[in-house]
Amino acid sequence: VLSMTEYSHGKRNGFSIVKYPNGRIHYRGEYLNDEQVGRWTTYDTLGKVVDDKIIVEHR
C-alpha cells in the first residue's frame, strides 16, 4: 500500500491518499488536527466507489 499524508506540527493536517499495490486509490480525504474532516471516499481494487461520506469537524 502506498500512502501520502500531509503533516503540520506533528499532526495530520491536509490531504491524505492511500493506494492499493496496483496503483488504484483505496481511499482519500482530509485531516484537521489528526481528525478526519470533509469528504472521504473509499474505492475497491477496481476503482469503484464503495463508500463516500462527509465528516463534519469535531469541536
Is the pLDDT assigned to residue 12 strictly greater than 70? yes
Task: Report the pLDDT value the prediction gives residue 4, as an integer from 0 to 100.
Answer: 94
pLDDT digits (tens, 9 = 90+) for 21-48: 999 999 999 999 999 999 999 999 999 9
Q: 31, 29, 28: which is closest to 9 by C-alpha?
A: 31
Task: Report the pLDDT value the prediction gives residue 27, as an integer from 0 to 100.
Answer: 97
Give me the chain's average pLDDT, please. 94
Q: Judge whether 36 and 11 are in contact, CB under 8 Å.
A: no
Where do the domains of the chain lie?
2-55
Let me know if domain 2-55 sits in CATH 2.60.120.10.
no
Task: Report the pLDDT value the prediction gives residue 21, as an integer from 0 to 100.
Answer: 94
Q: How far apart are CA 46 and CA 59, in angstroms?
A: 36
Task: Report the pLDDT value the prediction gives residue 58, as an integer from 0 to 100.
Answer: 65
Task: Report the pLDDT value the prediction gives residue 1, as an integer from 0 to 100.
Answer: 65
